[in-house]
Amino acid sequence: MGRWERYHAAPGQPERGQQAVRTSLDQTGLDDLNPVVPWVSEDVDFLMDSLRSAESEIERLQSEVAAFAERRSEWMAMLSHELRTPLSLISGYGRLMLSGDAGPITARQDLYLTESAKGCRRLDAMIRKMLDVVGEKSVQESLDLGDHDVDEWVSDVLTMMAPIFETADIHLVLDIEHDLPKCQVDRLRAEQVLTNLLQNAVRVTPSGGTLKVIVRKLGGCSKAALEFSVLDEGPGVELQDRKRIFEPFVQTGSLGSQHGLGLGLAICRRIVDAHGGCLGVDDAPGGGSRFFFILPVAPGSMEME
């Protein structure tokens, strides 16, 4: 930075030579720094302006997020009202018919009306849980965990969906291990996941095809768990889409051609994750897809040898 200049002190006057060297070096350093000082000042001003701009942008984004949250709450409240009003009417008329006040019904009609009433109660509970999640609660905080019999709640889902399978001319095969332990789940949420996977499977399976539901206890795991699989006869899911398909608003392949927002699988993943499980997809033997989810076994329910 500075220029080195040689000075010779006169004999007997070393101090004068040293002082001359120091003075020359000090002056040279200051001269070289003079052009740099304005640049540093300009850089500091630029950084301060950038910081102020960033703070302003953060404040703007925070305001937008707050406004969005308010609109979302209003929208969900309106959606809840619009859904629950006709649901109450359907449920009310169903109860009226079941009571016999509207006239006699056959045993088959009684069965259908009973299943419809169960579906109404399930949908009403889902709406309430959805509002909890949209509010301050996360999915995990809204879980109502309990030890539930797997055969029972899986059978309830399949019974509820029986008319859908019949209408689509799809044959259902249930393969479930005997004496499975109970699983520790929010039963309503677990039913929601299985129902969604079955609905997707119906959409992609051709008329006359077969769906298979398999429930197994997983071995070799550090924590006991149950695996639920839904196998369809659709075109399958491309390898590059097998992660994206569980993201919100993503529609890929054959599922993307169906009506919907692409939220079903994303919601399922949140539910399964909240239980400490996992959700995935791979190839089904013989073609099609196998969607599966894993849920924990209830503590103390391993007397299944």
Would 179 be classed as within a structural domain? Answer: yes
What pLDDT score does 150 carry?
94
Q: Do the strands 210-217 and 183-185 form a parallel or antiparallel pair, or are they unpaired?
A: unpaired
CATH code of the domain in which 110 resides: 1.10.287
Query: What's the mean pLDDT when you consider all of the chain?
Result: 78
Q: What is the phi/psi pair of residue 236, to 5°?
A: 90, 175
> Total structural domains in the chain?
2
The domain of 154 spans 146-296
- State whether 165 and 238 are in the same domain: yes
Q: Is the per-residue pLDDT at 161 higher than 80?
A: yes
Range 28-56 average pLDDT:
69
What pLDDT score does 98 carry?
86
> Helix 107-134 to helix 187-204 angle, to the nearest 10 degrees?
110
Type and span of the H or E element at 90: helix 36-99
- State whether 123 and 163 are in the same domain: no
- State whether 177 and 240 are in the same domain: yes
* Domain endpoint, select from 79, 102, 134: 134
CA atoms within 13 A on the CB side of 144: 10
Query: What radius of gyration, in Å, describes the C-alpha atoms of the chain?
Result: 34
Query: From residue 172, how far is each of 38, 50, 194, 198, 235 by CA, in Å?
Result: 79, 62, 14, 10, 18
Q: Is the per-residue pLDDT at 176 higher than 50?
A: yes
Residue 303, helix vs strand vs coil: coil
CATH code of the domain in which 262 resides: 3.30.565.10
Please, which residues bridge with residue 148 across strands? 183
**Residues ≥6 apart with Cβ < 8 Å to 223:** 296, 297
Would 292 be classed as within a structural domain? Answer: yes
Give me the torsion for CA of 295, 300, 304, 305, rounded to 10°: 120
What pLDDT score does 232 carry?
94
Choose the most confident range, by mean pLDDT, from 77-81, 87-91, 135-139, 259-263. 87-91
Would 10 be classed as within a structural domain? Answer: no
Would 24 be classed as within a structural domain? Answer: no
- State whether 88 and 199 are in the same domain: no
Distance of alpha carbon 247 from alpha carbon 168, whole angstroms? 28
* Domain endpoint, select from 134, 158, 190: 134
What pLDDT score does 124 carry?
80
- State whether 168 and 237 are in the same domain: yes
Best CA proximity match to 246, nearest among 262, 230, 227, 231:
262
- State whether 166 and 204 are in the same domain: yes
What is the percent of the chain where pLDDT is above 70? 70
Distance of alpha carbon 25 from alpha carbon 3, whole angstroms? 7
Its pTM stands at 0.63
Would 204 be classed as within a structural domain? Answer: yes
- State whether 150 and 291 are in the same domain: yes
What pLDDT score does 23 carry?
47
- State whether 124 and 210 are in the same domain: no
* CA end-to-end distance (rounded Å), the chain: 84
Best CA proximity match to 200, nearest among 227, 173, 235:
235
pLDDT tens, residue by residue, 199-249: 899 999 999 999 999 999 987 555 689 999 999 999 888 888 888 888 876
- State whether 110 and 154 are in the same domain: no
Rounded to 5°, the CA angle 51-56-60 comes to: 145
Would 73 be classed as within a structural domain? Answer: yes
pLDDT tens, residue by residue, 13-40: 544 444 544 444 454 554 555 555 566 6
* Domain endpoint, select from 103, 134, 165: 134
- State whether 92 and 185 are in the same domain: no
pLDDT tens, residue by residue, 78-125: 676 667 767 777 888 888 888 888 889 899 898 888 888 888 888 887
**Residues ≥6 apart with Cβ < 8 Å to 276:** 296
Task: Compare 2 and 182 and report the one with higher pLDDT.
Answer: 182
- State whether 188 and 254 are in the same domain: yes
